[in-house]
Amino acid sequence: MTQRSVHTMQPCNRKVVSMVLLGVLGSITMTGAAIATLPDIDHIISQKGKRFGPQDVALRVGEHITVVNDDDNFVHQAYVETEAFTFDSGDIEPGARAVITFPTEGDFAVLCGVHPKMKLVVHVR
């Protein structure tokens, strides 16, 4: 092949490469937009100093909270007792976690059986 034929192929290759790159960038952008609109399905709730933090959270049906005992010295518990569903974590040792999934709409109180004044309100829509 002569140099001329190589040069005449380059603009065509550039177009193909440009089209492929635009397609890839478009896919990444579309995927990023889709990921950004997904609901936050893991809500971390801290148990520390005989308090839940935060003390109020909003979820969608089927989402869950992860209750983490962030105290060094206290054992905690997390329980929900309603007509819709019940949950009891049992003892949550320091550093341990419990996951509570909310299967239905409603306003729910999550309490600590060890520290009765601890209360978390979960609004599920």
Give per-residue pLDDT as tens, 60-99: 999 999 999 999 999 999 999 999 999 999 999 999 999 9
Encoded tokens for 118: 């601890």
With CA atoms as reference, report the closest residue to 123 among 111, 110, 105. 105
Does residue 21 register a pLDDT over 60?
Answer: no
Does residue 17 register a pLDDT over 60?
Answer: no
Does residue 36 register a pLDDT over 70?
Answer: no
pLDDT band for position 11 (50/70/90)? low
Residues shown for the chain: 125
CB half-sphere exposure, 1, CA atoms < 13 A: 7
Residue 47 pLDDT: 98
Pairing status of strand 97-101 against strand 42-48: unpaired
Residue 115 pLDDT: 97
Q: Which residue has the higher pLDDT, 6 or 59?
A: 59
Architecture of the structural domain at 42-124: Sandwich (2.60)
pLDDT band for position 42 (50/70/90)? confident
Q: Which of 11-15, 26-30, 102-106, 109-113 has the lowest mean pLDDT?
A: 26-30
